[in-house]
Amino acid sequence: MDVQAILSAATGNHGAVNPYAAIAYLVSGILFILALRGLSSPATAQSGNRFGVIGMTIAVVTTMITHAPEAMVLDGDGSFVLDTVGLIEILVAIGIGAVIGIVMARKIAMTAMPQLVAAFHSLVGLAAVAVAAAAYLNPGAFGIADAAGQIFTVSRVEMGLGIAIGAITFSGSVIAFLKLNGNMSGAPIMLPLRHVINLGTLAAIIGLVAYFTVDQSPWVFWTVTGLSFVIGFLLIIPIGGADMPVVVSMLNSYSGWAAAAMGFTLHNTAMIITGALVGSSGAILSYIMCRAMNRSFISVIAGGFGADAAASGGGSKEQRPWKPGSADDAAFLMSQAENVIIVPGYGMAVAQAQHALREMADVLKKEGVNVKYAIHPVAGRMPGHMNVLLAEANVPYDEVFELEDINGEFAQADVAFVIGANDVTNPAAKTDKTSPIYGMPVLDVEKAKTVLFVKRSMGGVGYAGVDNDVFYMDQTMMLLGDAKKMADDIVKALNGGGH
């Protein structure tokens, strides 16, 4: 069979949609759905990752095959010759990306996973901007313009939305990365007239995208791009650290919609399917996270959470009596308990204490103690952060419970062992209407007979900037110090029988 016949079989005739490519993209989409389903639970996360890898491999290979004619040129005798330069460039780009991905996966600590996710979102947004810019500068190569070079109206809509969402995703993700990585304060940055500025900028972007459908002048396109970059910064800067899990899932959704819009521009079914899956799942996750905090999505985006926290988090802190404890005290109390509920938080992640915590739980279980883990939906800096860390430490999945499943058990618990979780255990969310976290469902650790609270020092407060009344309750013993060292010392005390 000659080259032309092979290409015809692989890509279809006269630009028609190739049924084999459509089936391959459909299979990829199904695998992506299975990947999302698998990633919804630590028990199936590995299989979910495998489905995602297989699906993406099929999508990439299919795209390269269906675009093979674009790398073919006619030789002098009329035969087709492969333009290896373009193919090599693609393979080199894939190789570079693969190397970077492998190195990052091996080197990045689990504590840095939230900012890594934010960085990945920024790259997706930037890629959408790059594709939209390339399509605008050379629409003929993308098949989205007539003979006179006028971009089709529907393609202008897709391009305008894609570059706007992509630019917002990029700049917003950069700010989220800086906040999560500690390069920028997690406290809200409140600009004067920020709501007026934000609404005005958004209105200008929407108006210009609409105007772009009738005028494809460069000033319209690049103005939309510039304003979109700006509004991404403006939207995330006023959002406080307590809302970062929602911001991460929201940016995840944005990156998906940006990819879907660019899928239409590139006429790539796989990008449309994948982008829609990521966009819709991210939006659903954002909604779930907002419900977990009893917040409206609009109030989070408007930067309302933390507006009061900036005020309450500052100033002098009232000196109140609290009860200090030691690793030996904690070991004795937990070894005498029947039911212990462990509440992990970001402090555990920072100290990398999950392995020592699991070892502590294993020792307690050998002594006949019933141990469970209570996970708040927004504990940490991204959705599922604590679940990932506990899974890394091989904590049994059947010992890990979400807030709604375990909150009623604290009243029967002998010990609530809180390790680095502040905001998600703060009863002010239930009683203090002036608190910036008021209305957010929290873990009822104060109902336990004894609360052991591991904290680096009494001077710090949670990411929302609010002090926690649990610190000063009669049944609370504060275990001050590094979370990992404290857990290790408790294990030593349990094993040494000093209690």
Q: Which residue has the higher pLDDT, 71 or 122?
A: 122
pLDDT band at 432 (very low <50, low <70, confident <90, very high): confident
Cα–Cα distance measured from residue 193 to residue 351, given in angstroms and rounded to the nearest whole number = 39
pLDDT of res. 223: 94
**Parallel/antiparallel/unpaired status of strands 370-375 and 339-344:** parallel
pLDDT of res. 51: 93
pLDDT-wise least confident of 129-138, 142-151, 176-185, 308-317: 308-317
User: Is 453 within 8 Å of 477 (Cβ atoms)?
Assistant: yes
Place of tokens 């991404």: 232
Cα–Cα distance measured from residue 447 to residue 414, given in angstroms and rounded to the nearest whole number = 10
Name the helix (H) or strand (E) containing 82. strand 80-82
pLDDT of res. 340: 94
Mean pLDDT computed over 220-243:
85
pLDDT-wise least confident of 13-22, 398-407, 479-488: 13-22
What single DSSP character describes residue 330?
H
The answer, yes or no, to whether residue 375 has pLDDT greater than 80, is yes
Mean pLDDT computed over 239-249:
73
Partners of 401 in the beta sheet? 374
Mean pLDDT computed over 154-168:
89
> What percentage of the chain carries pLDDT values higher than 70?
83
* Catalytic residue list contains 423: yes
Place of tokens 């255990």: 425
DSSP string over 378-437: T-SSSTTHHHHHHHHTT--GGGEEEHHHHGGGGGG-SEEEEES--GGG-THHHH-TTSTT
Mean pLDDT computed over 41-49:
82
pLDDT-wise least confident of 207-211, 287-291, 320-324: 287-291
Mean pLDDT for the chain? 81
Instruction: Give the CA count within 13 Å in the CB-facing half-sphere of 349.
Output: 21
Q: Which residue has the higher pLDDT, 466 or 478?
A: 478
The answer, yes or no, to whether residue 429 has pLDDT greater than 50, is yes
480 Cβ contact list (under 8 Å, min separation 6):
324, 455, 456, 457, 458
Mean pLDDT computed over 304-332:
65
Instruction: Given the residues 423, 467, 488, 489, select the one marked as catalytic.
Output: 423
Chain-centre distance for alpha carbon 166: 16
Mean pLDDT computed over 462-484:
83
Look at the pTM and tell me if it is higher than 0.85. Answer: no
Instruction: Let me know the angle formed at the C-alpha of 158 by 152 and 162, rounded to the nearest 5 degrees.
Output: 140
CB-based burial, 275-298: b 16+ in 10 Å, e otherwise? bbbbbebbbebbbebbebbebeee
Cα–Cα distance measured from residue 233 to residue 421, given in angstroms and rounded to the nearest whole number = 29
229 Cβ contact list (under 8 Å, min separation 6):
167, 168, 170, 171
pLDDT band at 112 (very low <50, low <70, confident <90, very high): confident
